[in-house]
Structure 1
Amino acid sequence: MIGHTQTNLAKSKVLIVDDDPQNIHILLEILKNDYAIVAAKNGKKALELVIQTPQPDLIVLDVMMPDMDGYALCQAIKSRSETQNIPIIFISALDRALDKVKAFDVGGIDYITKPFQREEILVRIATHIEIYHLRQRLYNQTIQLTDKNQKLLRSNQDLQVQYHQIKTTQLQLIQAEKMAFLGELMAGIVHEINNPTDFIKANIELARTYVQKLFGLIDFLLQECPSNATHIQDELEAVDLELVREDLPKLINSMDLGIDHLCEVSNSLRTFFREDRDQKVEFNLHDGIDRTLLILKHRTKSNEERQPIEIVKNYGNIPEIYCFPGQLNQVFLHLLANAIDAIDEANKGKTLPKIKADTNRITIETKMLGDEQVQVCIQDNGCGMEPEIQAQIFDQGLTTKEVSKGTRLGMAISHQIVTEKHEGTITCKSELGEGTEFIISLFIRC
């Protein structure tokens, strides 16, 4: 049970408001040993005292007073934000239920009728002051907790920003190391390819010249040989000179075309994996896409599981854009390789007639987007994605492939290259069993 003796070093402050000095004196005698007492004989004075520091911990208020009765005074105190929480106990000779209800309606927390008992006054005042102090402590603790919670939220936000920065830096490092490694590797491979191809290319021209000379020499010798040299005629028929004369230049031309193709592949590898400069340069997106397709050409051919993949290029009239070509080539490589993977996945389990009947297709479309942007769309008719996968397709670590396929970072890196390095956008639209489309929008100058 709550007692009425104050144990705190500072006594709680009680404001007594009553127009009868005798009533004030009686309450003062009851409360003076336990509380710091201030008194007012009217509402105006009470309003002055209630805002003084320290504020009262409780107000004992008479109902019947001139000028401003207890109900009006209570409403005035409760209308002020700085005093609205101070508990008010009404003390009155009015004992009708209506009077008591009104006291509670205007904000009172208790109602004591006269004449009152000393112990009743002490217990009720002690109880309400204790409740008031508990509420104050609870309010202060709530403020502290709210403040701590806000600090935790800010700390969490800072950690999320730092985490995003770490992820971004990690992707940049992975991308830089990957491109540097591939650049070195390709430079070595290209060098090893170029040396023999240059040698072969130069010798093919000599070989073509020598062949023509040899045929001329053979014709001259045949003219000088006796017409009755049957053994020579037999040898010519065995060799089938006319076939050799017709076929050998074709073979040399085929070798020449093969070397040209090899040089084209070598040049594509060299430019595809080239190291980007610090500054953006003008770049033809169609060249980048074509080089990517050339590198992936072996994967688009038919195999034992599917028909060849048809590449449909709907290139629009777009200008060169300022960009980092090596990075955009990497984006095209990721998207086109994923499209091929999706088509391979879609063909699994199909019967041979079904495989032959279905056309595997990757469609690449470029066009202007307004006056300042270009758009690249890469669409396949592969297996498509579920909505849950599509929603997370650019998240780091997400993969729809087997562990042995891919680094699980391709889409995240592609998203970073487009959005952060080039201030563009990349979106994905996919329907399970129908296919997937990636749409890239890039500024011509940024």
Structure 2
Amino acid sequence: MDDFFSKPRRILLVDDNPNNLKVMSEAIQGYGWQALMATDGESAVEQVEYAAPDLILLDIMMPGIDGFETCRRLKANSITQNIPIIFMTALSDTTDKVKGLEIGAVDYITKPFQQEEVIARLKLHLKISHLTYTLEQSVQERTAELTQSLQQLQQTQLQLIQSEKMSTLGELVAGIGHEINNPIGFISGNCSHIEEYVKDLLRLVNLQQQKLPYPDLETEELLEEIDLEYLAEDLPKLLLSMRQGICRLKDISLSLRTFARSDISSKVKFQIHEGIDSTLMLLKHRLKDQGDRSKIEVVTQYGELPPITCYPGQLNQVFMNIIANAIDAFDDLYQNRSDQKIPNTIMITTSVEHQQQAVTICIEDNALGIPTEVQARIFEPSFTTKPVGKGTGLGLAISHQIIVDKHNGQITCSSTSGQGTKFTITLPI
């Protein structure tokens, strides 16, 4: 505290009495402080802004604006409102003392002055002012530290949740892929043999019918029972349907592996369109008719995109979150407005921004849209508008972290309530 008073302090004296200014100025300068002087309220207000005194001694009775009005103006100004003001008043003016304290003064000094009392009061309030400023600075610094720590904690939690989700998904996909691929390979490998065997058997039956045009009664009955003509026509169709089903299973297995790539540790070259297509494949069952809600049409307009260096599994998670949210919006739309006549559409467009050396992915729907007050918070952790049990509020927060923090990209949302929502993702090539 001694170091504080060793520095020169600037005290502004405001009084229309030259003798008072002279006495107070000598006392202040004798203590090593700098005395600034003003003889009226207007000049005092003007001087305070550029001189920035540490404390103000203010007389009440002055020509022009009095001390009370001068104090009000100083306290109304954000630049000068924290400078402590001590009123100078006559001994008997109790009402003036109370009024001065009510409008913001910290103390008062009675006339005639006692120099020792004046210096003591000035020292006290300079100390209090300094301690208040120091405390406020400490509180601001500590608040900033706590805010930063909270943000870091939230980011860490998001990273842990994201890593856990991707790890769990990767393990699940690996297990499913292993269980599916073996029987698919077995069935696919034998399907061609079955087709050949069936062709051979049908050729044999045709040949026997030609060689033995008049079968016995028992054979006739069996032919009618099994409807050989229909069987011979339908069996190849069944085999073709089975082969299509096998291809469908292969596509699903490939989409799962593409969607949940085990690439958490390092970036790899990846074609964005593969990730979008695999996501749409996995969500295909949700795009179909759902009771009152008609099917959702997905329109893709792909540009010529080069492969980009990224974390494919994480980007696919972003696509999944955004498209799944769009589907949820259509479900909510039909719960609230069952008479909806406009076709449900999700539009996905991609393009290259050559000047920025970046790719842009836009995912747009024509569902409910997002209210303006909600748009500002959609990327906040744990913020959700969905009912309890339907949403965690982490999907878009994790998506924002993946795009911005992990890929140095940008993700924005624009929406018109009642018309639809558009997410735009920009990723550096």
TM-score by length of 1: 0.71
Q: What do the CA deviations read for 1:136-180 (whole angstroms, capped 9, x no partner)?
A: 321222122112211221111111111111110110001111111
TM superposition shift of 1:350: 3.1
Residue matched to 2:358: 373
Residue matched to 1:362: 346
SS of the equivalent of 1:279 reads: coil
Q: What do the CA deviations read for 1:172-221 (whole angstroms, capped 9, x no partner)?
A: 00111111111112211222222222221122111101101101221232
Give yes or no for contact 1:362–1:378 (8 Å, CA) kept in 2: yes
Q: Structure 1 residues 82, 350: closer, same or farther in 2, change over 3 A?
A: closer
Residue matched to 1:281: 268
Q: Residue 246 in 1 paired to residue 246 in 2? A: no
Residue matched to 1:211: 198
Residue matched to 2:393: 408
Residue matched to 1:270: 257
SS of the equivalent of 1:430 reads: strand
Amino acid at match of 2:254: N
Coordinate RMSD, CA, aligned: 3.5
The 5-angstrom pairing of residues 114-263 of structure 1 reads 124-126=112-114, 128-225=115-212, 227-229=213-215, 231=217, 232=219, 235-263=222-250
TM superposition shift of 1:407: 2.3
Residue matched to 1:11: none
SS of the equivalent of 1:276 reads: coil
Q: What do the CA deviations read for 1:394-433 (whole angstroms, capped 9, x no partner)?
A: 0011001111213221011001111100111111111111
Amino acid at match of 2:165: K
Give the alignment partner of residue 311 of structure 2, picking from 300, 314, 324.
324
1:339 and 1:438 mapped to 2: Cα distance? 10
Give yes or no for contact 2:28–2:34 (8 Å, CA) kept in 1: no
2:226 and 2:270 mapped to 1: Cα distance? 54
SS of the equivalent of 1:348 reads: helix
Amino acid at match of 1:370: H
Q: Structure 1 residues 315, 129: closer, same or farther in 2, change over 3 A?
A: same
1:310 and 1:190 mapped to 2: Cα distance? 28
SS of the equivalent of 2:112 reads: helix
Amino acid at match of 1:243: Y
1:272 and 1:162 mapped to 2: Cα distance? 33
Amino acid at match of 2:173: M
TM superposition shift of 1:84: 10
1:406 and 1:55 mapped to 2: Cα distance? 67
Stretches of structure 2 lacking an aligned partner (at least 5 in a row): 1-24, 36-46, 64-87, 90-109
Q: Structure 1 residues 303, 83: closer, same or farther in 2, change over 3 A?
A: closer
Q: Using the TM superposition, name which of 342-351 and 314-323 deviates more.
A: 342-351
Amino acid at match of 1:164: Q
Q: What do the CA deviations read for 1:99-129 (whole angstroms, capped 9, x no partner)?
A: xxxxxxxxxx89xxxxxxxxxxx97341x54
Amino acid at match of 1:342: A
Q: What do the CA deviations read for 1:12-42 (whole angstroms, capped 9, x no partner)?
A: xxxxxxxxxxxxxxxxxxxxxxxxxxxxxxx
TM superposition shift of 1:267: 1.6
Give yes or no for contact 2:314–2:402 (8 Å, CA) kept in 1: yes
TM superposition shift of 1:435: 1.1
Give yes or no for contact 2:54–2:126 (8 Å, CA) kept in 1: no
Q: Using the TM superposition, name which of 159-168 and 329-338 deviates more.
A: 159-168
Residue matched to 1:55: 32
Give the alignment partner of residue 411 of structure 2, picking from 419, 426, 439.
426
Q: Structure 1 residues 259, 265: closer, same or farther in 2, change over 3 A?
A: same
Question: How many percent identity over aligned positions?
Answer: 42
2:362 and 2:322 mapped to 1: Cα distance? 10
Give yes or no for contact 1:315–1:367 (8 Å, CA) kept in 2: yes
Give yes or no for contact 1:311–1:361 (8 Å, CA) kept in 2: yes
Q: What do the CA deviations read for 1:370-402 (whole angstroms, capped 9, x no partner)?
A: 331111111111111111111100001100111
1:304 and 1:381 mapped to 2: Cα distance? 19
Q: How many residues are paired up?
A: 350
2:326 and 2:303 mapped to 1: Cα distance? 21
Q: Residue 297 in 1 paired to residue 274 in 2? A: no
2:54 and 2:268 mapped to 1: Cα distance? 69
1:147 and 1:159 mapped to 2: Cα distance? 18
Amino acid at match of 1:438: F
Amino acid at match of 1:368: V
Q: Structure 1 residues 237, 83: closer, same or farther in 2, change over 3 A?
A: closer
Q: Structure 1 residues 377, 82: closer, same or farther in 2, change over 3 A?
A: closer
Give yes or no for contact 1:197–1:259 (8 Å, CA) kept in 2: yes
